[in-house]
Amino acid sequence: MTTATYTVKGMTCGHCVSSVKEEVGEISGITAVEVDLASGLLTVESDDPIDSEQIKAAVQEAGYEVDPS
């Protein structure tokens, strides 16, 4: 199992969290998604590693940005 973390910028409320969870959760191979609103921390679990570009694209699709730092 692989766990990867990202920081998402721009989420302001629980609805934003839900949008990110939904979009990221649709990526093939992902088994669990957790998002913390206060810190912006996005934690993604998968059986095999997921290309970070796919994660970033899903976050953008939801309307937010992954902090590159």
Which span (8-16, 26-34, 38-46, 49-57) binds a second copy, by CB under 8 A? 8-16
Q: Which stretch binds a second copy (CB under 8 A): 13-21, 27-35, 39-47, 52-60?
A: 13-21
Helix, strand or coil, per DSSP, at residue 68: coil
Tell which one of 8, 16, 42, 55 touches a second copy (CB under 8 A).
16
- Least distance (Å) between residue 50 CB and a second copy: 25
Nearer of residues 3 and 18 to a second copy, judged by Cβ: 18
| Residues contacting a second copy: total by CB under 8 A | 6
Tokens of 31: 């088994």
Rg (CA), the chain: 11
φ, ψ (nearest 5 deg) of residue 45 = -110, 140
Strands (E), 1-69: 2-9, 30-35, 41-46, 65-66
